[in-house]
A = this chain, B = another copy of it.
Amino acid sequence: MALGRNRAGKSTINDVARLAGVSKKTVSRVINRSPLLNITTREKVEAVIADIGYVPNPQARALALRRNFLLGLIHDNPNAQMVLNFQEGVLDAIRDTEFALVVRPVDRASPKLFDDIRKFIEQQRLHGVMILPPLSENDELAALVRNLGCHYVRMGSAPLDDSAHLVQSNDRQAVREAVDYLIAQGHRHIGLVAGPDGFRSAFERREGWRDALAAAGLDHGSEQIASGHYTFESGRDAAAQLLGSAHPPTAIFASNDVMAAGALHAVRERGLTVPDDVSIIGFDDTAIAATIWPPLTTVRWPIRDMARSAALKLIHPETAPHEQSLFPTIFVPRASVTKPRD
C-alpha cells in the first residue's frame, strides 16, 4: 500500500519487476510458483507484490496462455431455486481460483437458440460450459459445443454421455423408492403427474413410477397418468384430470415440486384435503416444498454438490473421470403423505 497508485489494480508486472530489480520473467515465475527460483529472490518479489497490491491482469494472461478462465452456465430452467443452488455449488468450486462464472439464461423455444449459444461460447472464448436440464438432454447442442472446442459437462437424470462430460442423478431409482413408500403406506391407486414429453427427466421419473407399481403387482392403466409441463397450472390441471377419473387415486406422485403444489390446489378445489383424502409426493425439494401447506413429501437431489463436481471436471479435465459422476438422492418425508382412508 505504501506506494499508493494501486487503485483499480493498475500496477503491472513491469512495475513489480522494476521495483524488485528483476526481470518481468522472474516476476512471472514467482506468480506461477516456478520451482527453479532462488528463495531469496522469490521473497523479495513477493514483498513488492504485497506492497503495491499487484494483481495480474487476467486478460493478458488469457491472451498469452491462449486459454482463459471463464466457466459458462447455460440454462433454461423453470426452477429458480435450482439454478441458484447450482450457481452456488459452482462458486464453491472456483472460490480462491482465478476462474469466474459467466451465466447465460437462454430460451429453448427460440429458433435462434443454437446461434445464441454458439455466439456466447465463441465471443467469450469460454474455457468450458455447464449445461442444465432440459437443455443438457439435447445431443445436437452437446455436439455443437464439442465442435466449438469447448469443454462441457451436462447435468442429467440419466447416462446421457460419458462420465467425463456428465454429472448425473438417478431419478428412476429415486422415484421408485418414493412410490414404494406410498405402497408401503397402503396405497393401491397411485396416480402420476408426469413431466412433458421430450424431457429425459420426465421419462426417467415415469419409469421409476412404473417400476414400483410393477414390482408390487399393481394395475397401472394409462388413466392413472396425466402430463404437465413442470409448471404450477399444468400440475393442477393434470391432477384435476386424475381426480375426475372413474377410479380416482388415493395418492399422487408429481414429477416435480411445483406440479405437486398445483396438485395440492386441485385436491382442495374438489373439496378434499391433503393428506387425508389424497397423499402427494413431489420431486426436487425446492423451497416451495417446505413452504406450502401441508409441507410436501419429496425427493432431494444434491444439486450443490453436483454443481461443484461439474465445475471441477471443467477445471481439471485430466482428473475428470475420477470426479464423482453419479449422485445419490434423499427421500424427504413430510406431512403430505399418510395412509389411505379405507
Contacts and interface: CB of A to CB of B under 8 A. Distances in A.
A7 B125 CA distance: 12
Given A87-B103, A265-B293, 10 more contacts: A9-B149, A10-B149, A57-B63, A59-B59, A80-B85, A95-B116, A100-B120, A268-B293, A291-B292, A292-B293
A101 interface: yes
Interface of A: 7-10, 55, 57-60, 62-63, 68, 70, 80-81, 83-85, 87-88, 91, 95, 98, 100-105, 116, 120, 122-125, 147-150, 232, 258, 261-262, 264-265, 268, 287-288, 290-293
B293 A264 contact: yes
B148 A9 contact: yes
> What copy number does this chain have within its complex?
2
Given A58-B125, A288-B288, A291-B292, A91 B104 contact: yes
A60 B59 CA distance: 7
Nearest to A268: B293
Given A291-B262, A293-B268, A59 B125 contact: yes
Overall SS of chain A's interface:
helix
Contact of A100 (B10, B124, B149, B262): B124
A123 B293 contact: no
Contact of A7 (B87, B120, B147): B147
Contact of A63 (B7, B60, B95, B123): B60
A8 B150 contact: yes
4 A-B pairs with least C-beta separation: A8-B149, A59-B62, A80-B84, A80-B80
A95 B287 CA distance: 30
B105 A91 contact: yes
A264 B104 CA distance: 36
Contacts of A287: 80, 232, 258, 288
A149 to B, nearest CB: 3
A123 B58 contact: yes
Contacts of A232: 287, 290-291
Contact of A291 (B8, B95, B147, B258): B258
A129 to B, nearest CB: 12
Contacts of A7: 147-149
Contacts of A147: 7
Nearest to A94: B104
26 contacts: A8-B148, A8-B149, A9-B125, A55-B122, A59-B60, A59-B63, A59-B68, A59-B125, A60-B63, A63-B63, A80-B84, A80-B85, A81-B81, A84-B84, A87-B105, A100-B102, A100-B124, A101-B104, A103-B103, A232-B287, A232-B291, A261-B291, A262-B291, A264-B293, A288-B288, A292-B292
